Amino acid sequence: RNGDGAGLGDWEENKTKLPNGVASLVKEAKNNEVKFGIWIEPEMVNPKSQLYEKHPDWVIKQPKCEEYYFRNQLVLDLTNPKVQDFVFGVVNDLFTKNPELAYIKWDCNAVIYNAYSATLGNQNHFYIEYMRGLYKVLERIRAKYPTVPMMLCSGGGGRVDYAALKYFTEFWPSDNTEPLERIFIQWEYSYFYPAITSSNHVTDWGKQPIKFRTDVAMMGKLGFDIVVSHLKDNDLKYCQDAIKTYNAIKPIIWHGDQYRLANPREGSVASMLYLNEAKTSGVVFNYLVNNRYDEGSKMPIKLKGLDAAKKYVLKELNVYPGTTSSIDATKSYTGDFLMKIGYNPIVNSNRTSVVLQLDEIK
């Protein structure tokens, strides 16, 4: 595609742009020790496409109504078994030609207007049958490719639901990646879905430093949507170290118990704890969300879920290069103390995000 007005639906390699096909990109990524994923939108079609010209009856539209486009797109009719075969074929062909593909982002950026199927008998059942058709496609994909990570996006979080979790490993909760607003989004999202399902990416949105953006994105599945070559040396070093740290603590974030310690809507600081099942290790995320009165975390934050009899130490993670931590990692505290009295992560205008690791000591 050379723009968003044509080509969507024609899932063929553009030999002008990719003379050696997608396989050359997969190979180049592998040579650079990067897994290659692909972003697709197989339910959609541009009216200016070979697919539309060959199969205009595959498109959802009222036969006597003018076509209405959203982002120059129409939606394919997944109540039609032939369309189901086509959509499955899009994914299957990609993996057949490129078996080392490591990831799929499945997008859906247009809503259904003028709902009507040329092949469905009872039009009153259209929306139900559309979703059944989609699930049939996804069941076939998962049967053949059961372990491939798949992220579901739909104009942000338009398709976040439990039924989709049968087929997808994670959601894109929102196109809003501004890190301060993202704290609130991820906080509310966590009432319904675990952190392992939340794709949180570091982007250029917002004026906050890279440390704040990365610390916020760590509260789920961390990713980076930035131009790495534009990063300053210290920012790049910070990100490299943060990824190593994240890989060490992500089992706690993904599979641990979650405890809300300080609600971002009720004060100047947000605080969230993830604790492993044995209550021996945890990660505490702390963020400054409001600095109107230069308040920060002047009062200790009470932890939850700990073993009252165990002793713990806290150390700061993700310390920015050239700075030192304000946290004394040599002191130990009982779980009883941390739950009744609390601990001050020292969040303020100079330390807008503080990530702490909690570990039991014998």
Contact in structure between 272 and 261 (CB atoms under 8 Å): yes
63 token code pair: 């036969």
Contact in structure between 283 and 255 (CB atoms under 8 Å): no
Contact in structure between 58 and 83 (CB atoms under 8 Å): yes
Collapsing DSSP to helix, strand or coil, 346 comes out as: coil
Say how many C-beta atoms besides its own lie within 10 A of residue 291's C-beta.
14
State how far the Cα of 297 lies from the Cα of 240, in Å rounded to an integer: 28
Residue type, 170: E
State how far the Cα of 17 lies from the Cα of 125, in Å rounded to an integer: 42
90 token code pair: 């899009």
The residues that bridge with 356 in the sheet, in sequence order, are 284, 316
State how far the Cα of 342 lies from the Cα of 354, in Å rounded to an integer: 16
Give residue for tokens 């939606």. Answer: 75
Write phi, then psi, for 336 (nearest 5 degrees). Answer: -60, -45
233 is catalytic: no
4 is catalytic: no
From the list 175, 204, 225, 328, the catalytic residue is 175
Measured over the CA atoms of residue 182, residue 184, residue 187 and residue 193, the dihedral's sign is negative
Residues labelled catalytic = 107, 175
